[in-house]
């Protein structure tokens, strides 16, 4: 075999300790930028070259196909003395498909690489079920995932033609053929997704209290009035809400008026004022008034009957008494809101599978919940989830969670199959261990024997996938889950400057549930972190646009600059939102920048990073959406733990930056996370930008904006050139 490894002397002491360790259970706790993947790959090479382990006895598990490909790429690079493959990977003239073909060819060239099993959890379980699943079920299944795959691998060849979202959406539309379900869905979307009734803080509601939106978009003052308005809508009865009426003595607003019946309805609640004076006016004007009462609405069937008698009997005989409701008409203009609802159902379904809770229990817990919104959600969601499960069964579809749970079931029910894989894989290496969930850990444990060497790398500080079911306790309490284990900490950051590393250390210290470690930077720099607080979003956008222009003039490329944000709307609120947009302004300037959610940036890095939307409150960062009671039906949420995951997400964002970091907030509404960064690491500025005609002066040392007549930068002491 040609030499393929780098000299172990290239590793630092802790990396070397992890690589040569003979411990059967090993966790490498690797801080951001500390070379965890390098350590894992060196361990793999060490096992083959130094210990004589057959590649076929090694299983390396990743979470994404990209991570698996990166692992293979780096192994090929280590074996390729010509460096042609490395140059090929960065060649922009080649397509993704061409690079994949070359990767495949190179794997076959190096038999030891080809002999390794480097898989994602999902592709590994797919292989198990495809070969051995016939023992338990029909193994001619298709995989249904988040997107249609185009890679030329075994997994992709057996992917369903439809995505999980497409199936859920299709089933929802089908369910909406039931008119009652259709109207309940529209009610839910109006109340809780669009207008967020009962969800937002009181300060967001009008002085008169909470508004309730009817199915035709009229805002009424109570749930019972909403019921009446919706009844009119269902029966195609035109009405006016709170019309101005001036009969004799004074003007007032009765609750409802039905012109076709010349009928007024006054709805009386427990909080209503006396209607005696109004009734006198109706008598004087010889107008028809009927009163309805709050307590009537407690029995919806009875109230429907009451409205039938009150209204329908007074309508002309030729008046349309029914309306045919369709999904297309009812949700025209609400497509994004329906998408949000479907996404919620998908997340709930994933959580149910990961936590291994049966639907009956979920349904019972939901019905007992004190919050109407939660009860309404599950009343709508459960039928769709049941349909989805049945649909997948009929089509022989398995989603990603199914692949793992079916593999676990296979191992538990068939010891001979379990032993086959236990005997084959004597060494199991797991990347990004902080992201594992209950199912994945169960699978790993079923693959282990007393002789199996388990080598895991990860960083509890970068555990950010709680919404997918990952459980950070597995890495924090590794020794409890895997007894007699050894933990090695990698504390030297090779990616970021000392200011960025120092700031990230200070931020994460505020988390209580973590493994303590202190990262140090191998890179020195005079550039401090810039915290810019504009007066509004327009200020922030202009600051970023001008700053990017400067960076490009200095010789940086678009690939050197990365914009990160908690939610997509922070960068691109949408064409029709009417809000200022980073995307739009960069497009105007013909500047192309990299922009990703922080979750999507995991594993990436850039010389310069901008983090947007660092504000408090609704739509800011932190954004603790998992605290939503909908999800707590499945798994009880702890506010502190959810806040800690948001802080870990902020940590991930910070540590993507190699040289310069810009944190963008709004004056007076700064995110609490910014306050956790000591001033020694930052330069704060909120100065409005100068006119584009006038030259803007910046400190060459700390990047702060300066006034024209300043001789010395007040932030870092650097002398200016005075021009």
For Cα atoms 407, 408, 412, give the angle at the middle one, nearest 5 degrees.
115
Give the whole-angstrom CA distance, residue 185 versus residue 380. Answer: 7
Q: Are 622 and 339 in contact (CB under 8 A)?
A: no
For Cα atoms 5, 7, 8, give the angle at the middle one, nearest 5 degrees.
105
pLDDT in tens, 549-571: 999 999 999 999 999 999 888 89
Of 273 and 222, the one with more pLDDT: 222
pLDDT value of position 201 = 38
Which residues 6+ apart lie within 8 Å of 448 measured at CB? 422, 428, 454
pLDDT value of position 346 = 94
Average pLDDT across the chain, whole number: 85
The mean per-residue pLDDT over the stretch 319-326 comes to 66
The mean per-residue pLDDT over the stretch 580-587 comes to 91
Tell me the backbone φ, ψ of residue 561, rounded to 5 degrees: -120, 130
Instruction: Please name which of 191, 186, 228 lies closest in space to residue 332, comparing C-alpha atoms.
Output: 186
pLDDT in tens, 29-49: 998 888 888 999 999 999 998
Give the whole-angstrom CA distance, residue 100 versus residue 694. Answer: 50
Q: In terms of C-beta density within 10 A (0-12 exposed, 13-18 middle, 19 or more buried), how is residue 377 classed?
A: buried
Kindly report which listed range (167-171, 222-226, 545-549) carries the lowest average pLDDT score.
Answer: 222-226
Instruction: Please name which of 683, 658, 360 lies closest in space to residue 523, comparing C-alpha atoms.
Output: 658
pLDDT value of position 195 = 62
The mean per-residue pLDDT over the stretch 527-534 comes to 92
The mean per-residue pLDDT over the stretch 689-700 comes to 53
For Cα atoms 476, 630, 168, give the angle at the middle one, nearest 5 degrees.
100
Which runs of E-coded beta strand occur in 96-136?
117-120
Give the whole-angstrom CA distance, residue 641 versus residue 11. Answer: 35
Q: Are 690 and 543 in contact (CB under 8 A)?
A: no
Kindly report which listed range (45-59, 174-188, 705-719) carries the lowest average pLDDT score.
Answer: 705-719
Give the whole-angstrom CA distance, residue 405 versus residue 354. Answer: 9
Kindly report which listed range (503-512, 595-604, 703-712) carries the lowest average pLDDT score.
Answer: 703-712
pLDDT value of position 342 = 94
Spell out a b/e string for 166-178, using b for 16 or more CB atoms within 10 Å of the CB, else e. ebbbebbeebbee
Q: Is 542 helix (H, G, I), strand (E, B) or coil?
A: helix
Q: Please write down the HEC assignment for all residues of 477-492.
A: CHHHHCCCCEEEEECE
Instruction: Please name which of 164, 196, 268, 186 lies closest in space to residue 230, comparing C-alpha atoms.
Output: 186
pLDDT in tens, 386-432: 999 999 999 989 999 999 999 999 999 999 999 999 999 999 999 99
pLDDT value of position 448 = 96
Q: In terms of C-beta density within 10 A (0-12 exposed, 13-18 middle, 19 or more buried), how is residue 576 classed?
A: exposed
In terms of average pLDDT, the best of 214-218, 359-363, 687-691 is: 359-363
Percent of the chain with pLDDT over 90: 44
Instruction: Please name which of 603, 324, 666 lies closest in space to residue 462, comparing C-alpha atoms.
Output: 603
pLDDT value of position 689 = 44
pLDDT in tens, 329-357: 778 778 888 998 999 999 999 989 998 89
Dihedral over Cα of 161, 167, 169, 172: its sign: positive
Kindly report which listed range (176-190, 504-518, 641-655) carries the lowest average pLDDT score.
Answer: 176-190
**pTM, rounded to two decimals:** 0.77
Residue 380 has pLDDT above 60, yes or no: yes
The Cβ of residue 698 has, within 10 Å, a number of other Cβ atoms equal to 17
The mean per-residue pLDDT over the stretch 201-229 comes to 69
pLDDT value of position 321 = 56
pLDDT value of position 249 = 77
Tell me the backbone φ, ψ of residue 90, rounded to 5 degrees: -95, 5
The mean per-residue pLDDT over the stretch 148-157 comes to 57
Pairing of strands 251-252, 245-246: antiparallel
The mean per-residue pLDDT over the stretch 624-638 comes to 71
């Amino acid at each position: 075999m040609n030499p393929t490894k780098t000299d172990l002397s290239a590793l630092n002491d802790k990396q070397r300790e992890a690589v040569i360790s003979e411990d059967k259970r090993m966790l490498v706790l690797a801080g951001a930028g500390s070379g965890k993947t390098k350590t894992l790959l060196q361990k793999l090479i060490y096992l083959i070259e130094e210990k004589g382990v057959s590649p076929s006895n090694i299983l390396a598990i990743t979470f994404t196909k990209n991570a698996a490909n990166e692992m293979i790429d780096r192994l090929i690079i280590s074996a390729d003395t010509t460096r042609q493959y490395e140059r090929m990977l960065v060649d922009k003239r080649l397509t993704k498909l061409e690079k994949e073909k070359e990767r495949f060819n190179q794997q076959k060239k190096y038999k030891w690489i080809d002999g390794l099993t480097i898989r994602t959890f999902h592709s590994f379980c797919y292989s198990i079920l495809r070969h051995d699943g016939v023992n338990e079920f029909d193994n001619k299944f298709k995989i249904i995932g988040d997107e249609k795959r185009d890679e030329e691998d075994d997994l992709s060849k057996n992917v369903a033609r439809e995505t999980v979202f497409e199936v859920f959406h299709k089933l929802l539309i089908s369910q909406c053929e039931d008119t009652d379900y259709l109207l309940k869905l529209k009610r839910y979307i109006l109340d809780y997704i669009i207008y967020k009734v009962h969800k937002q803080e009181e300060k967001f509601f009008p002085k008169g209290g909470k508004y309730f939106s009817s199915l035709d978009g009229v805002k009424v003052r109570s749930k019972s009035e909403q019921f009446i308005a919706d009844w009119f809508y269902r029966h195609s009865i035109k009405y006016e809400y709170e019309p101005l009426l001036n009969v004799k003595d004074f003007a007032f607003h009765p609750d409802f008026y039905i012109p076709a019946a010349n009928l007024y309805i006054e709805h009386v609640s427990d909080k209503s004022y006396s209607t005696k004076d109004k009734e006198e006016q109706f008598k004087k004007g010889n107008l028809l008034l009927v009163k309805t009462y709050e307590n009537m609405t407690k029995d919806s069937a009875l109230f429907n009957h009451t409205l039938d008698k009150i209204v329908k009997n007074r309508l002309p005989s030729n008046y349309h008494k029914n309306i045919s409701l369709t999904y297309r008409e009812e949700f025209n203009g609400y497509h994004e809101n329906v998408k949000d609802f479907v996404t919620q159902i998908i997340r709930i379904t994933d959580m149910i599978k990961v936590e291994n809770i049966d639907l009956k229990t979920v349904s019972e817990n939901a019905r007992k919940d004190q919050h109407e919104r939660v009860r309404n959600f599950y009343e709508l969601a459960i039928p769709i989830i049941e349909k989805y499960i049945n649909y997948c069964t009929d089509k022989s579809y398995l989603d990603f969670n199914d692949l793992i749970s079916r593999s676990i079931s296979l191992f538990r029910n068939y010891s001979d199959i379990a032993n086959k894989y236990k005997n084959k894989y004597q060494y199991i290496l797991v990347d990004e261990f902080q992201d594992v969930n209950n199912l994945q850990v169960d699978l790993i444990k079923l693959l282990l024997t007393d002789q199996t060497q388990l080598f895991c790398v990860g960083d509890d500080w970068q555990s950010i996938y709680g919404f997918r079911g990952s459980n950070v306790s597995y890495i924090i309490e590794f020794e409890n889950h895997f007894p007699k284990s050894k933990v090695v900490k990698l504390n030297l950051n090779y990616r970021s400057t000392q200011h960025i590393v120092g700031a990230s250390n200070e931020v994460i210290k505020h988390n209580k549930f973590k493994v303590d470690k202190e990262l140090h930077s191998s890179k020195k720099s005079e550039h401090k972190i810039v915290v810019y607080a504009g007066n509004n979003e327009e200020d922030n956008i202009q600051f970023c646009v001008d700053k990017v222009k400067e960076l490009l003039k200095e010789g940086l490329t678009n690939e050197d600059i990365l914009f990160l944000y908690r939610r997509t709307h922070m960068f691109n609120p949408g064409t029709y939102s009417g809000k200022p947009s980073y995307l739009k302004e960069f497009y105007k300037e013909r500047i192309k920048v990299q922009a990703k959610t922080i979750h999507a940036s995991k594993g990436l890095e850039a010389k310069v990073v901008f983090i947007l939307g660092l504000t408090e409150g609704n739509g800011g960062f932190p954004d603790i959406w998992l605290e939503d009671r909908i999800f707590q039906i499945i798994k009880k949420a702890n506010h502190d733990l959810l806040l800690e995951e948001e802080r870990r997400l902020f940590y991930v964002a910070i540590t993507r930056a190699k040289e310069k970091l810009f944190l963008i907030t709004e004056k007076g509404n700064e995110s609490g996370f910014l306050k956790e960064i000591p001033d020694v690491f930052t330069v704060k500025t909120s100065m409005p930008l100068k006119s584009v005609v006038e030259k803007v002066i910046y400190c060459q040392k700390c990047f702060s904006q300066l006034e024209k007549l300043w001789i010395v930068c007040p932030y870092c002491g650097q002398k200016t050139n005075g021009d």
